[in-house]
Structure 1
């Protein structure tokens, strides 16, 4: 787990004491979590036993204004998000509802529980798209989509592996960006992942870590969830969820019925390719630039997601060939040299309908 930052823990304790009218030594703070950013989360226990989660987001590295604004907008829209009780943006301190310690992925104890959990989460995506206002959010435009894709050649290919991008890279970027921009635009959480969905006391799901939300492609959060870091589902299950999502979006007037199932499946797979390439780049950047450990071991999992997303489409044949002959051997060699075991397959994280 991320360690506490002594330089900020004292000021955070003093700030919390002031908000609740107590002496600092009357409070108890324990580190609850850290994440891939510079944020840390502490559980504050008050003298009466009530608890809050304190977010420590150093202003020099983290801008908490989007989180605060989005939390207010989504709560007002009737969406399940934590309430912000106190906030000081200059200090980078926020006091939030304590949602406990049970993110969605902790309930994946069986195949049935996993499928049930994912389907509840998909239902929440529909609710988010139906209720959340998007006017104040940044647009997931061509520039942002392209910047994300370029993380792959910059940090994964050149930074980690020391190899050149595939010859089809420029064409691929255009294809993936165009596919994303063809889609209807709705609110995108942007990290709609099982670790960012907390199970409340009534078993409902509550969204966290939504500060990077944008207005973007219809399929993005569905892909973020079903092609995420915890499970790799078989093609039949993915197709079933994508088909059901399309039908619900059409029924709710979020998608034109003229977009047939095949086109929608291509949108989803192209979106999955974009996100997998972005994540491969981000994980390398977290390692090489930020000195965060553990992310390189996750690269084979997202490589499997990438291969899955390309498998059905002849338009991606050249990229698939390059991944097989150039990228995968280079990745395996580099991870082995760093003492990171590379699994022969992703079967250990794969869920099937069997």
Structure 2
């Protein structure tokens, strides 16, 4: 990693006349992939964000192509200044450190959420040429993370009786939705508040996928479940805007809400498995602290849904107590260590 960081520093220096003294880089963040982000401070007082995406692990072609295409269509994404796909280095606009998530508890919450909804609908309306299709097979593979990594690897539990049927029901329901352009990680950590505007980042995973997926990412991610009154209002706002923009044919509010809830269940079960995999395989235990949030999102998506009653009984009486006990054991072990 030291050699790669040195290479990134010298690469950045070469674009700013700093070859004799390679600049120090400020760590911004890493994410759930192999990508890392650094801030480069320039003598002019400006700054840039450098993305380090090792090409043997990350394909940055999609990031570059989508950034340019979305920017051309009016989506507020960072400007790219220098790109080296062979090395996996990208220098881009610095959008600061203020995420949407940091502003959701203040008096501007409603205005910001409506901006996010408007942006999400605009993304759904984008051209989808050459985007990979987020199809039933892909959705099913994601759901398989739950029994493999959360149940088997983390909790040493067997899947509930009827899991195969639950899996098939969710995959069928979500894959039957109309397909649109989907960011696929459209949550409050990937929306930056910069110069009085929401800006979109981390869009390289965009797909042609289920209509409600980005709305679910926005409403049910790494935050406590929003009150039902808020969710109902925001879901209805998205539905009306999407219909007005021609993104979707008219759908009754009740039918659209069911789409949202079942998509939420699929995504949240996938996340429960995926975060356990990040903790166990990739040594990123911080993701375990987020599991209870996605437990609530599963509940919100499936409680009262016809056909899921038996699964939810198992979820609440078997799975949740086992997960809570394992998380307590993990926290106790960390403190003792």
Shorter-chain TM-score: what band?
Answer: over 0.9
1:186 alignment partner, one of 180, 188, 195: 180
Over aligned residue pairs, what C-alpha RMSD do you find? 1.6
Structure 1: segments with no counterpart, 5+ residues: 342-354
Partner of 1:301: 293
Whether contact under 8 Å (1:28, 1:46) holds in the other structure is no
What is the CA distance between 1:117 and its match in structure 2?
2.2
Q: Does 180-189 or 17-26 show the bigger shift?
A: 17-26
Distance in structure 1 (CA, Å) of the matches to 2:267 and 2:102: 24
Q: How far apart are the structure 1 equivalents of 2:20 and 2:276? A: 40
Q: Deviation digits for residues 185-240 of structure 1, max 9, x if unmatched?
A: 11110100111011111x11110001111011111000001001023112232122
Taking the TM superposition and a 5 Å limit, the aligned residue runs for 1:8-19 are 8-19=4-15
Which residue does 1:49 correspond to in 2? 45
Native 8 Å contact 1:13 1:24 kept in 2: no
Q: Specify the alignment match of 1:175 in structure 2.
A: 169
Given candidates 221, 225, 236, the residue that maps to 2:229 is 236
In structure 2, do the counterparts of structure 1 residues 298 and 26 end up closer, same or farther at CA, with 3 Å as the change threshold? closer
- TM-score of the superposition, structure 2-length normalised? 0.95
Instruction: Kindly indicate whether residue 304 of structure 2 is the aligned counterpart of residue 312 of structure 1.
Output: yes
What's the CA shift string for 1:113-133, capped at 9, x where partnerless?
A: 333322221111111122x22
Report the equivalent of 1:116: 111
Alignment of 1:1-354 (within 5 A): 5-25=1-21, 27-110=23-106, 112-130=107-125, 132-201=126-195, 203-257=196-250, 259-339=251-331
In structure 2, the partner of 1:352 is none
Contact 1:26 1:46 in 2 (8 A): no
Q: Secondary structure at the match of 1:136?
A: coil
Aligned length: 333
Give, in angstroms, the shift of residue 340 of structure 1. Answer: 6.0
Q: Distance in 2 between matches of 1:326 and 1:123?
A: 40
Q: Assess if the C-alpha contact under 8 Å between 1:104 and 1:117 holds in 2.
A: yes
- Displacement of 1:263 in angstroms is 1.3
Q: CA deviation at 1:243?
A: 1.9
Specify every segment of 5 or more residues in structure 2 that has no aligned partner in the other structure, as ranges.
none
**Superimposed CA distance per residue, residues 222-279 of structure 1 (whole angstroms, 9 cap, x where no aligned partner):** 000100102311223212222222222222222222x322211111000000010011
Mapped contact 2:155–2:322 kept (Cα < 8 A): yes
Distance of aligned partners of 1:253 and 1:109 in 2 relative to their CA distance in 1, 3 Å threshold: closer
Looking at structure 2, the residues matched to 162 and 273 of structure 1 have their Cα atoms a distance apart, in angstroms, of: 22
In 2, the alpha carbon distance for the partners of 1:145 and 1:124 equals: 24
Between the aligned partners of 1:179 and 1:340, the Cα distance in structure 2 is: 40
CA contact (8 A) 2:50 2:91 kept: yes
Per the TM alignment, residue 293 of structure 1 is displaced from its structure 2 partner at its CA by 2.2
Q: Which residue of 2 aligns with 1:348?
A: none
Q: Is the 8 A contact 1:56 1:92 kept in 2?
A: yes
Q: Does the aligned pair in 1 maintain the 2:78–2:201 contact within 8 Å?
A: yes
Separation in 2, partners of 1:9, 1:205 = 30
